[in-house]
Each structure stands twice: as structure tokens, then as C-alpha cells.
Structure 1
């Protein structure tokens, strides 16, 4: 999954700026996964509350 994300973000992964961007993207991905999970859970809870 990480490889596909990097390939999608960088058309040319062998570019001169591939390494620093990859490190930043890894940190953003690790920080973004729990945030995305919390956002999805929040939406699901909000929908359930509205239905009930």
C-alpha cells in the first residue's frame, strides 16, 4: 500500500527529491492513518445518531 501511494504521488521516484519527500510522506502517512480512522469513525457515529 505504501509503495502504491508513493508511486501515485511521484511519477518519477528516482528524482533528486525522492528521498526527503519519501521520509516526509512516511511521517505524514503514519500520522494520517489514525486521523483518517478517527474521522471515519466520527462520520459513522454521526450517521448512526441521526438515524436513531
Structure 2
């Protein structure tokens, strides 16, 4: 019983870590996209003002 519990616990932790990393990567990608969009908007404004 103890061995099975250890396996379950480690599998659970590994799965959670995988989800956490996935979510963090999504958030990081989202913030990068927002920065790129802001830069693009500034470029468009500069072109329109010329």
C-alpha cells in the first residue's frame, strides 16, 4: 500500500508540474504578444502621422 501511494503521489506531482509549466508558458507567451502588439501599434501611428 505504501509503495502504491508513493507512486501515485509522485505521478500526481509530476502531472501538476506539467500543468503549471504549461500555464506559465501560456502566460509568458501572452505577455510577449501584448508587447509586440503595442510596438506594432506605435509603428502604425508613426507611419500615419508622417
Q: TM-score, normalised by structure 1?
A: 0.52
Structure with the larger helix share: 2
Following superposition, which runs of at least 4 residues in structure 1 exceed 6 angstroms of deviation? none
Q: d(CA) in 2 for partners of 1:24 and 1:42?
A: 27
Partner of 2:27: 30
1:1-52 equivalences in 2 (<5 Å): 19=15, 20=18, 22-52=19-49
* Structure 2, unaligned runs of 5 or more: 1-14
| Pair member with larger Rg | 2
**Equivalences, count:** 33
Q: Which has the higher contact order (CA 8 A, sep 6+)?
A: 1
